[in-house]
A and B are shown apart, each in its own frame.
Chain A
Amino acid sequence: MKIINKYHKRLAFIVDGETFGIEAKEIKEVDDRLGSKLLESVWIEEVKDISQTKKIDIQDNKQKGRKTLKTK
């Protein structure tokens, strides 16, 4: 998953005795296990992939189009 640091400074997380650093406003890709831990912080937010969301929209539209043809 992709995450963003909303805090105004670099955050150094301590997860299972190891550190994970992320700069202010930086977006980083992390594995889901680490990501779910980091999301417990009020300053970390998941970044949704906008291009992926658009693809789904197009696919939905295509599906709708097919349905329309079938109806006719």
Chain B
Amino acid sequence: MAVSIGRQGWVGVAFETSPGTGGTTPTKYIPYTSCTLHNVVEVIDDEAAKGIRERAWGSVAARTRGEGDITINVDVENLPYLLIPALGTCMTSEVESGVYLHTITRKASNPPTTICLNVNDTVETRRYTYGVVNTLELTFSDGLVTATAGILSKAPTAGSGTPSITEENILAFKDAKIYFGSTMAEAENKAATDTDPIGLTAFTLTINNNAEAQYESGSSSPAQISLGQFELSGNYTLFFEDTTERSAHESQTKRAMCIVFTGGSIGTSSTEKIQITIPQFHITERSVDTAPAGFVTENPTFVGDYDSTYGSIIVKIWNQTGTSTYTCCTSSSSSSSSSSSSSSG
């Protein structure tokens, strides 16, 4: 027997072709800072009275499922494995040879877009099929940008994998810029021209699918996992220098937000980029930190609204991975290149 340290474990991931099917061989091994994915076994004790004082006479394994969180440092190649299933719909176009633009939006229906995870905990490898990203929290303050995905899956089985790691440009707060506008067009235009970015000291965006594992007779593992109501929320912190946020809270001003993370150069003339657009949001709470020894900051909490034209969130990611790997993505007919992406990594 030999002991191992946690960083010798690994997580391999691939998109499933349909919930619970395919994706058993990982296409990407995601470097993580935390992984708590495990088999949940709800145990029912046999507590029936049988003439003696002992409470338990045995037990039955009842409902089981895979459940836990994975936290990663954000980059343009690994984030899509968590973000695409969190939102559900992806359209891909090739902007230049080997460079792809993925436009990710919220899926309308309840069946999820799923991933298959092979998780090695240093002792064994277990496979979590029907992997649903129930929640996703994207956050940064004065360090790296991180994403934490709350995952639900079927009960794990024996898994496998040969881990291979790629070097990516991990993103930090310095790579993030946030733009506000009274409309989505204004916020996006500011982002496109890098005009008037808002200086934030912390930012968090939370996607919650309210997914539920549904059990049926015949199996202790979920028959299916379905998406519930969709919620988009977050909060940000900035130095208290004017009354803009206070006023927006009090008068419930609806604004648009565009968050842009910029990475390294790819292709001949492209840049790694993640652009998150929230067409409309409103502030639900706002606190002011007036600690005597500190600089005064304000911390608005927001909720993303549904906009009948644009929906509630649009995420665009520019990277070098095509639809042969992101099998759940649909190739857009507006692709600027007619070359096939079948051999793209």
Contact = CB atoms under 8 A, between A and B. Distances in A.
18 contacts: A6-B343, A7-B345, A8-B321, A9-B345, A10-B166, A11-B164, A11-B165, A11-B166, A12-B164, A12-B167, A14-B163, A14-B165, A40-B161, A40-B162, A41-B25, A42-B25, A43-B164, A43-B345
B160 interface: yes
A72 to B, nearest CB: 49
Contacts, number: 48
Contacts of B27: 42-43
Majority secondary structure of chain A interface residues (helix, strand, loop or mixed): loop
Nearest to B168: A9
B83 to A, nearest CB: 20
Interface of A: 6-15, 17, 24, 37-38, 40-43
A15 B164 CA distance: 9
A40 B160 contact: yes
B167 A10 contact: yes
Interface residues of B, number: 20
A40 B163 CA distance: 10
B162 to A, nearest CB: 4
A11 B321 CA distance: 14
Interface of B: 8, 10, 14, 25-27, 98, 160-167, 320-321, 343-345
A43 B166 CA distance: 12
Contacts of A17: 8
Nearest to B29: A14
B10 A6 contact: no
Counting from the closest, the 3 A-B pairs by CB-CB distance are A8-B345, A7-B345, A11-B164
Contact of A37 (B98, B162, B166, B167): B162
A63 B156 CA distance: 55
B167 A9 contact: yes
A57 B343 CA distance: 30
A37 B167 CA distance: 21
Contacts of B161: 40
Contact of B163 (A6, A8, A10, A13): A13
Nearest to A9: B166
A41 B321 CA distance: 16
A9 B167 CA distance: 8
